[in-house]
Amino acid sequence: MPELRAERVSKAFGGMQALRGVSLSVERGERRAIIGPNGAGKTTLFRIISGELRPNQGAVYLNGRRVDGLPPERVSLLGVARTFQVSSLFPEKSCLEHVMLALLALRRGQRWWPFTAMARVPGLEDAAYDALEQVGLTQQARQPAGALAHGDRRQLELAMALAQQPRLLLLDEPLAGLSEVERERIGQILMQLPRTLTVLLIEHDLGFAYAFADRMTVLHYGEVLLEGDPEQVRRDPRLLEVYAGRVLEETEAPPAPEREAGPAALQVSGLVSGYGDAQVLHGVDLEVRQGEVVALLGRNGMGKTTLLHTIMGLVRPSSGRVLLGGRDVTGLSPLQLAQAGLTLVPQGRRAIPGLTAQEELSLARQPGPWSVERVYELFPRLYERRNAPSVALSGGEQQMLAIARALVRNPVVLLMDEPSEGLSPAVLQRIEETIQALRREGMTILLAEQKLDMALNVADRVYVLEQGKVVYEGRPDALRSQRQLLQQMMAI
């Protein structure tokens, strides 16, 4: 009997279909990697398995028992533990206390009064030390979580999950945001997990996923695209197309016409930033000239979104400078940067609940050539749906709204974060045509994009990020000819 079985699972968020009839079967003791580009539905699938979300259709079985619809605490008691993309710990509590709390959650029938020292619960501290030893954190047992390095926090989360002695462990991007040393250390810990434990892994480091998994499932547009052992998946041409589009098949793509470069509109120099102790960007230098479309490429977790968020003031840099039109805007708030002419089209669209599409555009409107009427000309479908609640729009319509909302602000520099995420091929083509039209009109754009073929089709210049550092700068046509670098970028 499979440890985990999902049958025709579907899930929609408003008008966006995240999963479409996903089925998979995972045997006991199997290591299964779930891979796919941003917006493929991977984390949504994890949230349904763990009980955080209910599917709109389909069923989930754990060891033969149907669990979809059960609350997360019930699913946890049945043997499911998970880690998350972003660490969420109590900064003042020690590592030992975190693991002891995780153990208490599963001690059914045993009462614990919160004002009683956990150390007085028989066997609890010893069991917590055992879990910390399994991940190499015994030396930091008494250290508060807030003082841990980012990699150590990942290890603590893993210790909390393993302490629950799960039948099924869900690992959601455990290597994201880690330094090379941390990735090596935590990768070894994961490889040494007991083979009796069933593991589902979401990971954008495909090299590690290939080494870790017994079988792999590729999700694309919320559907299972292919499944097999790592070598079968690696060699399947559909995987190349999912991550790189058709760039690797093109031998002589027509280069975009070169244009005379304007003055620097946006400059980034020596930028270092991250989240807490997790340093993501390591001295990034970048320039976008007036009227240019510059593409920022690289795999997930390489720092593209962090760079855009740092430029936009959502993340404060620890060093380095950001210049907008020659003016130093480093450290300004997002509001001040928006007033100065920066606008971000965020990853995930971010429709505003309670507002219609028309109301969102009216609230965003600033003086300039881009009016609400003009963006409706650019997106006729958006005009037809202008009175619909924005959260009820389809994924493609929400992306059109996100771009339109940015345009009516009439920005000096437009930042776009993964505009292709989760879109159907037809809508993706429409978004590419839109960026091409904006390029012809002289809009200055910095585009972070995982879809290589689209990015190279619209860009004047490209930068490639690898582990928070710029490893390539040049023209799109020059990059197209470097097949080995392209494959290395996507780890395929």
Tokens of 359: 């109301």
Length of the chain counted residue by residue: 492
pLDDT for 251: 46
User: Over its length of 492 residues, how does the chain's per-residue pLDDT go in tens digits?
Assistant: 899 999 999 998 876 788 999 999 999 999 999 998 877 889 999 999 999 999 999 999 999 999 998 999 899 999 999 998 877 898 899 999 999 988 887 765 555 556 566 766 777 889 999 999 999 999 999 999 988 887 888 999 999 999 999 999 999 989 877 777 888 899 999 999 999 999 999 988 888 999 999 999 999 889 999 999 999 999 888 887 777 666 555 544 455 556 666 899 999 999 999 877 678 899 999 999 999 999 999 877 788 999 999 999 999 999 999 999 999 999 999 999 999 999 999 987 788 888 999 999 999 999 999 999 999 999 998 999 899 888 888 778 888 899 999 999 999 999 999 888 767 677 788 889 999 999 998 999 999 988 888 888 999 999 999 888 999 899 998 888 776 777 666 655
Report the topology of domain 264-490: Rossmann fold (3.40.50)
pLDDT for 239: 85
> What are the helix (H) ranges across 341-408?
357-364, 372-378, 380-384, 395-407
pLDDT for 113: 56
**69 CB-side CA count, 13 A:** 7
CATH 3.40.50.300 positions along the chain are: 4-244, 264-490
Give the C-alpha separation, 138 to 167, whole Å: 24
**43 CB-side CA count, 13 A:** 13
Amino acid in the structure at residue 344: L
CATH 3.40.718.10 is the classification of domain 4-244: no
Give the C-alpha separation, 479 to 458, whole Å: 13
pLDDT for 65: 95
Give the C-alpha separation, 448 to 295, whole Å: 6
> What are the helix (H) ranges across 408-460?
425-440, 452-458
Residue that the structure tokens 């009216």 belong to: 362
